[in-house]
Structure formats: structure tokens, C-alpha cells
Structure 1
Amino acid sequence: MHGPAVSGWLLMALCAVTGAYCLSRSRTGTGEERRTARAEALMGFGMAAMAVPAAVVAPPAWGWAGYAVLFGAAALRALWFARHSGHHLHHLVGSSAMVYMAVVMARSGGAAHGGHASHTMAVAGGVPLLTGLLLAYYAAYVLRSGARLIPVAVTADAAGGPAAGPLATGWGARPELALACRLTMGIAMFAMLLAL
């Protein structure tokens, strides 16, 4: 997760901005939408904190355990709310991936690739099996989310005008921005897992 300093800072900034937008979304919408936005804000800020280059700001020894506990609790919360919404299953995978990365980093003492040496199950290229599965999940998630952002033709009503419907107002009520944030965090998670 802690590769070159410039890419680490860019990843940190991207995740922090995404987390801030998700936090702003948590003030509008239904209870479920606010709950989802809060979970996504936690993920964005947590990813930002984990992406800070270790050469510049080394996390304390207990920091990785703190991440594991925090995201372990987030995973349990996502599991609880998954009974209401399937999107919380994605939050469960994301929180579990953060726990996994924190454990690997704690074992390696914070070195980016040292943790892989202790894994016993690896796929052909030396990548641990769980890392490979998470990379495959996030690659598929990013492709699916990106495809959902592709604009579709506007339908017309019977009179030939554009379809009437409620217009989203405010930054928090823009579904395409929420989807773009999810896409951004999926790409960031893929990059963090790749650098693990």
C-alpha cells in the first residue's frame, strides 16, 4: 500500500475527497441512503489514512491493529444491515478487505510486500490467494460501476417531449456522483491491494 510517495499522496487525496463527498451525502435522503453514505465516508477516510506514504508519515505500531478493529466493527455493521440492502454486502467485502490489509501490514511491520512471504496459499505468480480474489472482485466491481456511468438515451413521453420526472437538486441528491464516488473507491481499493 505504501509505494512511491507521489502516488500515495494522490491516492490519499482522492480517497479523502471522496470520503468528504460521501459525508455530505449523509445529510440527505432516506435512512438507508444516509446509512450507506456514512459507511462509504468511513471507507473513504480509512482508505485515505492507509494510503499516506509510510516514508513520510510512519503509522504508530498500534495503528494497524486500530484499523483492523475499526473495519472489523464496520464489517459486522455491514453484515447486520445486509439483510435490508444488498449494497451492504459490498460494504462487508470492502471492510473485510481493509481488515485483511491492516493484518498483512501489521505482520510485515508496514513494509509493502513483506506480508506476502508469510502467506501459505498463493496463486501461480506468488500473489496470495485472498489478495487475488479481492483483486478479481474489485476489477469486476470497477468495470460494472464504470459501465453504469455510461449515459443512456433520454426517453420521450407520448407528446414527444423529454420524459418528465423529478430533477435531483443539490450535490447530495445526485445519483451519478454517488456512483462515481463508488467507482473511485473501487479503483483506489484495487490499487491498494495491488501494492500490498
Structure 2
Amino acid sequence: MHGPASPGWLLVALCAATGAYCLLRMRSSDETQRRAAGDEALMGFGMAVMAVPGSAFTPLAWVWPAYAVVFGGAALRALWVARSGTHHLHHLVGAAAMVYMAAVMTASPTAGHAHGGSGVPLLTGGLLLYFAAYVLVSGVRLLPVAGAAGSTAAASAPAWGDRPELARACRLSMGIGMLAMLLTI
């Protein structure tokens, strides 16, 4: 992406750590959680690679079109499985955003948007609004609910990879990462 090196490396670390935790979540006994974790791991690692600052290396010409193909496939898969749950619609938007960013990088690998005018292109603005709303809603969902904390027993605690609050935090961090990446294109 086209941003300063230090925040870029922090974004790489955040996305890679999120992708690694999602790989751990793939060991869950719940099949739907495993599938969602796999999609999120792909997104986390894909975002980590895409966020590597341009000053670190110059990708080959085929890298961004390959990204578009990989995340285009992920978008088609998300569209297919969205029949069973609305959470997959978020995966669809995320994968489509990755395709869009890869297309922008293909068109203009060194200078951000290839559009001649000033301002933010409509699609970028729409994606920024979506991910800003997603981050806000995800953040609110992480807030503790009064009275629910004392009712859990140690014997019924979920496994480390099955904890819903960690999965929500993972999604929140990827939403923040997506916002940061969209701001730099």
C-alpha cells in the first residue's frame, strides 16, 4: 500500500497476528466456526501481505492481478455460502474490497488512485463508510453486558479457539486494518 513505513509495518503485524489466530480457530469442533475462521485467516494474511510498505519491496507485475483472482474466488465462495447466513455477506464485501484494492494497485502501482480528479472515488468512499460502520458496531458488540459476567462457570468455558469475544476482536481488528488500507489507496 502507499503509506508511511512505520504504520504499514504495524498494519502488517496486526493482520498477520489476526490471520494466525484465525488459523488456531480452524481447530474448533464447530464446523461453521472452522469455515468462517478459514475465510478470515485468508483475509488476515492477504491483508498483511498487501499492507507491506512499498519501500520494502516492489512486487512483480503479476502480483496484483493474482490477488484479484484469489480474492475474486473468495468473493464468489462467500456469495455462494451467503445463502446460509448473513455473516458471509461481510466476507463478500471484504473480499470484494480486496479485489478493488488489487485492481487499483494494478492500474497504478506507485501513485494510489489513477483518477485525475481530486477527492475520494465513490467506491472507495462507500467501502470506507461500510467498514467504519462495521468497526463501530463490532466495537459495541465487544462491550461487556451487565449481569452476564458472574453467571459463567469454569467447567462450561469454551476452548481458547472457540471464544466468541476473541473471534469478534479478530473481526474488529481486520475491519480497522481494512479502513487503514482503504485510506492509503
TM-score normalised per structure 1 = 0.89
Worse overlay, 83-92 or 52-61: 52-61
What residue number does 1:163 align with? 151
What residue number does 1:4 align with? 4
What residue number does 1:50 align with? 50
Q: Which amino acid aligns with 1:41?
A: A
State the shift of 1:170 in Å.
Answer: 2.9
* Consecutive unaligned residues in structure 1, runs of 5 or more: 157-161
What residue number does 1:178 align with? 167
1:127-138 mapped onto 2 (5 Å cutoff): 127-138=120-131
* Consecutive unaligned residues in structure 2, runs of 5 or more: none
Q: Which amino acid aligns with 1:59?
A: P
State the shift of 1:87 in Å.
Answer: 0.4
What residue number does 2:106 align with? 106
State the shift of 1:155 in Å.
Answer: 4.4
Question: What is the Cα-based RMSD across aligned positions, in Å?
Answer: 1.7
1:1-196 mapped onto 2 (5 Å cutoff): 1-108=1-108, 110-117=109-116, 126-155=119-148, 162-163=150-151, 167-196=156-185
Cα deviation per residue 1:148-187 (whole Å; 9 max; x = unaligned)?
Answer: 011111249xxxxx43566333320111110000000000
State the shift of 1:113 in Å.
Answer: 2.0
Structure 1 distance, partners of 2:161, 2:66, is: 30
Structure 1 distance, partners of 2:23, 2:131, is: 22
Structure 2 distance, partners of 1:116, 1:178, is: 37
Structure 2 distance, partners of 1:155, 1:26, is: 27
Q: Which amino acid aligns with 2:68?
A: A
Q: Which amino acid aligns with 1:113?
A: G
Percent sequence identity over matched residues?
64
Structure 2 distance, partners of 1:10, 1:164, is: 35
Runs of 4+ that moved beyond 4 A: none
Structure 2 distance, partners of 1:57, 1:107, is: 18
Question: Size of the alignment, in residue pairs?
Answer: 184
Please say if residues 116 and 127 of structure 1, whose CA atoms lie closer than 8 Å, have aligned partners that are also in contact.
Answer: no
Please say if residues 2 and 112 of structure 2, whose CA atoms lie closer than 8 Å, have aligned partners that are also in contact.
Answer: no
TM-score normalised per structure 2 = 0.94
Please say if residues 104 and 116 of structure 1, whose CA atoms lie closer than 8 Å, have aligned partners that are also in contact.
Answer: no
Q: Which amino acid aligns with 2:17?
A: V
Q: Compare CA radii of gyration and give the structure with the larger one.
A: 1
Secondary structure of the 1:116 match is: coil
Secondary structure of the 1:115 match is: coil
State the shift of 1:96 in Å.
Answer: 0.2
Q: Which amino acid aligns with 1:53?
A: P
